[in-house]
Amino acid sequence: MSENEKKVPTVVVKRLPRYYRYLGELLKQDIKRISSNALSVKMNVTASQIRQDFNYFGGFGQQGYGYNVEHLYNEIGDILGLNDGDTTVIVGAGNLGRALASHDTFEKRGFKLVGIFDNDINIIGTKINGIEVMSIDKLEEFLNSHRVDIGILTVPKAAVMETAEKLVNCGVKGLMNFSYTELKFDKDVAVENVHLSDPLMTLSYKIKQNQN
């Protein structure tokens, strides 16, 4: 990673998946190129902000032409690491874990779900999206014999720290935590703490503002 990329603001990084999704839709429509102005209308981001965002990674556009949609889509995919073939496990096969495992996002975005774990004897041995749920007792053994890049945690709050430490100690470098508590590790472990109620509260705020 270059020194320039290290300084990319978090808000810019969070916009990259939106660019990626929209460019993917353009590809499906067989659209070959798009200007920053046209992209700004669709993304609700100013054209100057789009150009500034992309300049953190080298620009990608040509003056008078705009952006080659396929090239930009592939470049953003590379920046996001979507072409690296990251492997993923889900720990916690309750309602949320089952929903995540059943979603087609993993394969569509280049992630491979390789394992699902739980401690409920009524769930262990069942299959979700073709993957058999294993006992949590086998987690470390599995991690030590398989390459796993990302751990998705949908376990109760009381169990999240212990589970996260097992994943990290076995070499997992990225954690997505849905357990309503904040996880934080050193700089070598990437963590995304996801609080599902936050978008609802934001939506409630917007509704209230619209009513004023």
Flag whether pLDDT at 61 surpasses 70: no
pLDDT of residue 10: 86
pLDDT bucket at 63, cuts 50 / 70 / 90:
low
Strand order in the sheet with 131-135: 127-128, 131-135, 112-118, 87-91, 150-153, 174-177, 190-193
Minimum mean pLDDT among 27-41, 53-67, 148-162: which range?
Answer: 53-67
pLDDT of residue 19: 92
Flag whether pLDDT at 4 surpasses 80: no
- Tens of pLDDT, residue by residue over 81-102, are 887 878 999 999 999 999 999 9
pLDDT bucket at 1, cuts 50 / 70 / 90:
very low
Q: If you average pLDDT over residues 110-127, what whole number do you get?
A: 93
Q: If you average pLDDT over residues 2-9, what whole number do you get?
A: 61
Pair 172, 148: CB distance under 8 Å: yes
The listed range with the strongest mean pLDDT (29-43, 136-150, 189-203) is 136-150
Residues making up the annotated binding site are: 92-97
What is the DSSP code (8-state) at residue 88? E
Residues making up the annotated binding site for NAD(+) are: 92-97
Q: What is the dihedral of CA 28, 8, 47, 208, to 10 degrees?
A: 90
Share of residues in the chain with pLDDT > 90 (%): 53
pLDDT of residue 98: 93
Whole-structure pTM value: 0.78
**Between 7 and 181, where is the model more confident?**
181
CA 71 – CA 158 distance, rounded (Å): 45
Computed over every residue of the chain, the mean pLDDT equals 88
**Between 6 and 209, where is the model more confident?**
209
Q: Which of these, 176, 178, 183, lies nearest to 162 by C-alpha position?
A: 183
What string of DSSP letters covers 43-76?
Answer: HTS-HHHHHHHHHTTT---BTTTBEEHHHHHHHH
Structural domains in the chain, CATH included, are 10-79 (1.10.10.10), 87-198 (3.40.50.720)
